[in-house]
């Protein structure tokens, strides 16, 4: 059926601090795509956009930051993507809202995309579309692009005061976006005093790095870290580190004398040089950029330096999914039924103690197939628990834990993989083919989306369709299990995860197999 | 509501000539993304894919051919886009079907995308998604990628027999796809003896160039040319032309002696060199590639060389939309109501005879706003009429004419622009925000999609919701007008279009204004 669409010469138009913006309206939802929230010179801090006369269109998504490698399509059923034209002039955000009334004061949810700090965009996943969540929850949903990889995170501070915070330029873009939201979101029906950050993977890391960034204090009020605590991922976490080695190597490779020249050479050349020299510099243990750098602007990983005073006051929700990077092909029914085969696969993967791990897994997850132990994650789960229990030492703000264990109707049954909770959170399962299981998906989507919405509304994720969901304490991780049956479990998997972490090979290698499988060459 | 999704280790799997492919099923529709239909060395003719053992996944769209310039987002409300990773290994097609039964023998519609012969892809527009058309019409819908620009259309024939048809490599890819369809589509429920090509803009040109290609004879049986006859667009239309000048200039620019080296240098370098030298070579009047080249494989534009014997037997449907490249911002209600302003704009655009053009327009389109004359097209419409009347000289196969004049509910009312009929044809208006007008869109979508489906079924576009739609004759262009009220009109606009063609400035310049407007810098 035809939907109600509206976009005239003058409607919907919203006044921002810098000038007027025109979006469109679809079935009641006001939509603004590609709102420029800041400008920036390469390696420099963002500056506010220049004011303009008249009305600017906000009808097309903005540029995405260029990447170090070209994207390759893969796993499209598991994580359907959208790609977009690239340009380092990429400080754009998108808004979905039900109101343009400054008195509406609806909760604001700001999505920080994944892809580490190196890749991705505000629209990279089909599931990032904000319309359904805004409409279902009567909230303002915002997603944003910012500088990535060496454009966002390359420390040139040893080469001049003007580059002081270039190692965090990407995070500085996000703070500029939060500043823009603070100053303008009321006119889009949002409450500038109730802003929740949520993000997954790299986006989850962005949430907690911003919690540790005094410049962002007061610009947001809650945070959701989805699969965003990751072992050994964020480098540059020591204030001792700086970009002298990597930038010197870059200049040598590019045969340049002056660091200033790095500001203007075409990005493709800069990226090629970086890709060439970075592995060698990394081998020396030196910082190579690509992630935030702890300094007096970003204070560092709370697991190492503790939470800032402001972070202690922020309600947070932290969780992971059971499988995370278990992207390898699922097993067939016949394979799963072959106990000897499964045992040998477990032994091959986990060694002699695999048997013990299997028994522990069967006890912790009696409803799962025992072969799922081959696909379980600890690299996200273990540090997430650490983060949760450390944050829960500050009971003045709630700390909530979740775990999605749902088995998807894909490939004959596949436990939740990295990114797979996102369509549920955004109320977007209908947009994602492999996320549809009649009789199951709709309820689970409501439960999860309600939890996120309620958390954004008042800092508590409990909802009518879920069991009571208590905050964690320093010695009780009360974890909401999202699955066909949702339940709260207490410190339920700590031993299992500890043993898995000890036995499991690095999960980062699995992705390649599946990619090769997905694209036919 | 959750949809019915299915994708197990072994289902749905279809046997092709080269091996087994796994897709997925959604609400009954079987979907196969990224099916490799051929391989090719750069500048060489495509070859069949190598057979494989086991099951390959067809779950991710395939690579898109690299372009000469990076895409820039613009006009997203008018034409919502999807971009995708690029690689010249791009011979992929996508299939949507309701059956996997070789006896189903459903009509097959093969979509050839637009973007000239230089850009675009099988998934570039949101509206190219085949699911709805396949389901609504119980037909097999296929879309495909092929080599573009200088990868698909650069004549190296003066430099060696192996490059004989390199000037048409992109079209040769399409013929390889049609060959793959011919050999394999029965197992996807399609009828290899009832294949209809449809395409818009460059895709329409692809339809008629394939009609003029003996290697494709018998591999398709009908053609729909949507806004695909374009004045002065396809160069290389004379068999006298060849690539000696452009390739020599390329070799000089790249400091290469051997044309063989062009096969392996990175595409980015090749493209940069081409972008640099092509304008100078073009000034001399020489062929510069980028479009099919008439030779003994592709016989040339039918308006110049006549239709091939096979083309004469092909039912065709040909049409345009009223506005086409009128992408400039629409006028406000106030501006439209200001007769003196409109008259001055008409005079500025069309000169002294603009008044006459305006009066003629008002007579031909009494229900349109007279200011719409500022946005009307002739650069597509005039050669389309020529094509139609020339084809209608061969009454052994039907030739049908259409024109979409609908005014969209965008920007305060905007007559149909280039690409705007596509979501109606694909039954995809629900996917495209600006195409929704309650009480209008659903019927017009049914009328248009039914026409395309009926034409694919038996070569006649008439349907229950449309007035009777006769074929054209050599002196009667019977044109179906698609608008709020559909009707057939006879030779209804020829004088108007002739005068417009005489008076109108080139439309190719307008696009830029709107692009600048859409993206905020």
pLDDT of B329 > 90? The answer is no
Q: Are residues A187 and A53 in the same domain?
A: yes
Catalytically active residues of A, by annotation: 201
Chain B neighbors of A58, CB-CB under 8 A: 520
Find the CATH number of the domain harbouring B169.
3.40.50.1820
**Same domain flag for A251 and A367:** no
When CB atoms are compared, the residue of B8, B34, B434 closest to A7 is B434
> Does A75 touch chain B if contact means CB atoms closer than 8 Å?
yes
B440 shares contact with chain A (CB less than 8 Å): yes
CB-nearest to B5 from A9, A10, A434 is A434
Q: Tell me if A9 and B332 make a contact (CB, 8 A cut-off).
A: yes
Contact partners, residue A266, CB within 8 Å, separation at least 6: none
CA–chain centroid gap for A439, Å, is 29
Span B404-457, pLDDT tens digits:
999 999 888 899 999 999 999 999 999 999 999 999 999 999 999 999 999 999
The partner residues of B14 in beta bridges, in order of sequence, read B21
The answer to whether residue A289 is domain-embedded is no
B442: Cα separation from own chain's centroid: 23
The region, left, alpha or beta by phi > 0 then psi within -120 to 50, assigned to residue B54 is left
Q: Are residues B158 and B254 in the same domain?
A: no
Q: Are strands B20-22 and B13-15 parallel, antiparallel or unpaired?
A: antiparallel
- pLDDT category at B233 given cuts 50, 70, 90 is low
**Residue A108 domain flag:** yes
Q: Does residue B97 have a pLDDT over 90?
A: yes
Give the total number of structural domains in chain A: 3
Note whether A34 contacts B435, CB cutoff 8 Å: no
Best to test chain B binding among A1, A4, A5 (most B CBs inside 10 Å): A5
Judge contact between A199 and A157, C-beta under 8 A.
no
Residue A330: per-residue pLDDT: 80
Taking CA–CA distances from A131, the nearest residue in chain B reads B433
**Paired strand residues for B490:** B478
d(CA B339, CA B176): 55
Same domain, A162 and A302: yes
Indicate yes or no: CB of B412 within 8 angstroms of CB of A8.
Answer: yes
CA dihedral sign of residues A235, A236, A240, A241:
positive
Please answer yes or no on whether B60 and A10 come within 8 Å at the CB atom: no
A26 touches chain B (CB under 8 A): yes
CB contact under 8 A, B430 and A2: yes
- Residues B399 and B491 both lie in one domain: yes
Q: Looking at chain B from residue 89 to 148, which residues have their Cβ under 8 Å from any Cβ of chain A?
A: 89
**B455 within some domain:** yes
Residues B427 and B451 reside in one and the same domain: yes
Is residue B488 within a helix (H) or strand (E), and if so which, with residue range?
A: strand B487-490
* Helices B244-253 & B267-283 angle (0-180, nearest 10): 130
Shortest distance, CA B32 to any CA of chain A (angstroms): 11
User: What pLDDT, on the 0 to 100 scale, is given for residue A136?
Assistant: 98
Find how far residue B198's CA is from the centre of its chain.
Answer: 7
Smallest Cβ distance to B410: which of A7, A63, A332? A7
Percent of chain B with pLDDT over 90: 89
**B438–chain A Cβ distance below 8 A for any pair:** yes
Residues of B in contact with A439 (CB under 8 A): 2
Q: Does the distance separating the beta carbons of A82 and B60 come in below 8 Å?
A: no
CB contact under 8 A, A58 and B437: no
CB within 8 Å: A73 and B521: no
The whole-number pLDDT of residue A326 equals 78
Ranges A205-209, A329-333, B53-57, B486-490: which has the least confidence: A329-333
Listed residue (B40, B39, B20, B23) closest to B31, CA to CA: B23
* Shortest CA gap A83–chain B (Å): 5
CB pairs under 8 A between A and B: 174
Encode pLDDT of B178-229 as tens digits.
999 999 999 999 999 999 999 999 999 999 999 999 999 999 999 999 999 9
Which of B60, B85, B436 lies closest to A3 in CB terms? B436
For residue B347, being part of any structural domain is answered with no
Residues 6 or more apart whose CB falls under 8 angstroms from that of A410 comprise A77, A78, A330, A434, B5, B7
- pLDDT for B132 beyond 60: yes
Report the alpha-carbon distance of residue A429 to residue A129 in Å, rounded.
11
pLDDT band at B466 (very low <50, low <70, confident <90, very high): very high
* pLDDT at residue number A511: 43
**pLDDT of the residue at B235:** 59
Angle at B425 between CA B424 and CA B431, to 5 degrees: 50
Residues of B in contact with A48 (CB under 8 A): none
Quick one: pLDDT at residue B86?
A: 95
pLDDT of residue A236: 65
In a domain, A370, yes or no: yes
Radius of gyration of the CA atoms of chain A, in A: 23
Q: How confident is the model at residue B232 (pLDDT cuts 50, 70, 90)?
A: low
Could you give the angle at which helices A354-364 and A339-350 cross, rounded to 10 degrees?
110
Flag whether residue A2 sits within 8 Å of chain B, measured between CB atoms. yes
Domain match, B192 and B274 both: no
Residues 6+ apart with CB under 8 A from A135: A27, A28, A29, A96, A98
A51 in contact with B at a CB cutoff of 8 Å? no
Question: H-helix or E-strand containing A24?
Answer: strand A24-26
| A490 phi, psi to nearest 5 deg | -110, 125
- Is residue B57 less than 8 Å (CB to CB) from chain A? yes
Q: Do A73 and B63 touch (CB under 8 A)?
A: yes
pLDDT recorded at residue A329: 74
Based on the domain organization, do A203 and A278 belong to the same domain? no
Q: What is the pLDDT of residues B352-406, one digit of tens each?
A: 999 999 999 999 999 999 999 999 999 999 999 999 999 999 999 999 999 999 9
Same domain, B512 and B395: yes
What contacts B346, CB < 8 A, 6 or more positions away? B354, B355, B357, B358, B373, B374
Percent of chain B with pLDDT over 70: 95
Mean local confidence (pLDDT), B321-333: 86
Does the structure's ipTM exceed the value 0.95?
no
Taking CB atoms and an 8 Å limit, are B433 and A517 in contact across chains? no
Compare CB distances from B5 to A7, A268, A409 and report the shortest one's residue.
Answer: A409
Q: Tell me if chain A has a CB within 8 Å of the CB of B196.
A: no
Nearest-10 crossing angle of helices B354-364, B339-350: 110
* Structural domain boundaries enclosing B263: 244-283
Cα B193-B197-B203 angle, rounded to 5 deg:
160
Res. B516: pLDDT tops 90: no
Does any domain span residue A196?
yes
- Cβ(B288)–Cβ(B195) under 8 Å? no
Q: Is B28 on the interface with A (CB under 8 A)?
A: no
The verdict on B72 touching A (C-beta cutoff 8 Å) is yes
Q: Does A74 touch chain B (CB under 8 A)?
A: yes
Residue B63 in contact with partner chain A when CB distance is under 8 A: yes
Name the stretches of chain A with pLDDT < 50: 509-521
Residues B128 and B100 in one domain: yes
Q: Same domain, yes or no, for B148 and B276?
A: no
Q: Nearest Cβ partner of B517 from A57, A89, A519?
A: A57
Q: Alpha carbon of B415 to those of A454, B125, B321, B380, B435: distances in Å?
A: 44, 20, 8, 15, 12
Instruction: State the burial class of residue B455 (Cβ atoms within 10 Å of its Cβ: 0-12, 13-18, 19+).
Output: buried
The pLDDT score that the predictor gives to residue B70 is: 84
CB contact under 8 A, B521 and A2: no
Assess if residue A374 is contained within a domain: yes
Q: What is each CA distance from A232 to A184, A204, A282, A381, A383, in whole angstroms?
A: 37, 15, 14, 13, 10
CB A130 within 8 A of CB A96: yes
Residues in A touching B95 (Cβ below 8 Å): none
Q: Which of chain B's residues have a Cβ under 8 Å away from the Cβ of A25?
A: none
**Residues B251 and B318 grouped into a single domain:** no
Q: Is A438 on the interface with B (CB under 8 A)?
A: yes
Min Cα–Cα distance to chain A from B399, Å: 32
Tell me which residue in A49, A76, A437 faces B33 most closely, judged by beta carbons.
Answer: A76
Contact of B54 with chain A, judged by CB distance below 8 Å, is answered with: no
CA of A53, closest CA in chain B: separation in Å? Answer: 13
**Is A59's CB within 8 Å of B518's CB?**
yes
User: Which residues 261-280 of A have a C-beta within 8 angstroms of B?
Assistant: 268
Q: Is position B4 within any domain? A: no
Contact at CB, A76 and B58, closer than 8 angstroms: no
The DSSP-derived string for B70-114 is ------TTTS-B-B--B-S---EEEEEES---TTT-EEEEEEE--
Average pLDDT over residues B47-55: 97
B9 Cβ under 8 Å from any chain A Cβ: yes
Task: Specify the pLDDT at position B142.
Answer: 98
Residues from chain B contacting residue A59 (CB–CB below 8 Å): 76-77, 518
Work out whether strand B407-408 and strand B414-415 pair parallel, antiparallel, or are unpaired. Answer: antiparallel
pLDDT higher for B122 or B10? B122
Query: pTM of the entire structure?
Result: 0.94
Do A73 and B34 count as a contact with CB atoms less than 8 A apart? yes
Cβ–Cβ contact A330 with B under 8 A: yes
* Min distance B304 CA to chain A CA atoms (Å): 38
CA distance A500 to chain B (A): 27
């Amino acid at each position: 059926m035809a939907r109600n669409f509206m976009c005239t010469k003058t409607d919907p138009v919203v006044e921002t601090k810098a000038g007027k913006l025109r979006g469109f309206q679809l079935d009641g939802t006001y939509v603004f795509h590609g709102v420029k929230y800041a400008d920036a010179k390469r390696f420099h801090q963002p500056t506010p956009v220049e004011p303009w006369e008249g009305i600017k269109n906000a009808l097309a998504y903005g540029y995405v930051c260029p990447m170090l490698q070209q994207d390759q399509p893969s796993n499209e059923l598991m994580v359907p993507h959208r790609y977009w034209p690239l340009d380092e002039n990429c400080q754009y955000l998108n808004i979905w809202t039900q109101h343009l009334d400054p008195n509406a004061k609806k909760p604001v949810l700001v999505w920080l995309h994944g892809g580490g700090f190196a890749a991705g965009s505000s629209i990279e996943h089909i599931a990032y579309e904000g319309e359904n969540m805004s409409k279902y929850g009567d909230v303002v949903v915002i997603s944003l692009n910012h500088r990535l990889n060496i454009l966002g995170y390359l420390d040139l501070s040893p080469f001049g005061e003007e580059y002081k915070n270039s190692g965090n330029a990407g995070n500085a873009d996000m703070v500029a976006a939060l500043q823009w939201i603070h100053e303008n979101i009321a006119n889009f029906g949002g409450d500038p005093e109730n802003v929740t950050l949520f993000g997954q993977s790299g986006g989850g890391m962005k949430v907690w790095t911003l919690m540790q960034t005094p410049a962002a204090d007061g610009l947001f009020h809650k945070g959701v870290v989805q699969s965003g605590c990751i072992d050994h991922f964020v480098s540059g976490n020591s204030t001792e580190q700086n970009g002298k080695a990597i930038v010197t190597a870059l200049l040598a490779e590019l045969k340049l004398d002056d660091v200033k020249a790095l500001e203007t050479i075409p990005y493709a050349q800069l990226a090629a040089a970086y890709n060439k020299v970075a592995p060698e510099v990394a081998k020396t243990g030196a910082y190579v950029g690509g992630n935030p750098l702890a300094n007096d602007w970003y204070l560092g990983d709370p697991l190492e330096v503790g939470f800032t005073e402001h972070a202690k006051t922020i309600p947070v929700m932290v969780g992971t999914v059971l499988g995370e990077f278990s992207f390898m092909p699922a097993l067939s029914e016949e394979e799963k039924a072959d106990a000897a085969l499964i045992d040998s696969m477990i032994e091959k993967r986990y060694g002699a103690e695999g048997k013990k791990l299997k028994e522990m897994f069967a006890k912790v997850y009696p409803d799962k197939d025992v072969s799922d132990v081959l696909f379980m994650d600890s690299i996200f789960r273990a540090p997430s628990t650490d983060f949760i229990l450390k944050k829960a030492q500050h009971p003045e703000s709630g700390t909530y834990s979740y775990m999605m264990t749902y088995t998807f109707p894909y490939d004959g049954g596949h436990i939740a993989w990295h990114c797979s909770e996102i369509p549920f959170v955004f109320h977007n399962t209908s947009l994602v083919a492999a996320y549809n299981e009649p009789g199951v998906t709709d309820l689970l989507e409501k439960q999860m989306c309600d939890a996120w919405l309620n958390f954004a509304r008042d800092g508590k994720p409990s909802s009518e369709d879920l069991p009571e969901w208590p905050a964690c304490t320093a010695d009780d991780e009360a974890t909401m299990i999202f699955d066909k049956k949702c339940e709260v479990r207490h410190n339920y998997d700590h031993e299992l995860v500890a043993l898995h972490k000890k036995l499991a090979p690095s999960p980062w290698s699995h992705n390649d197999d599946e990619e090769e499988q997905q694209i036919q060459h």
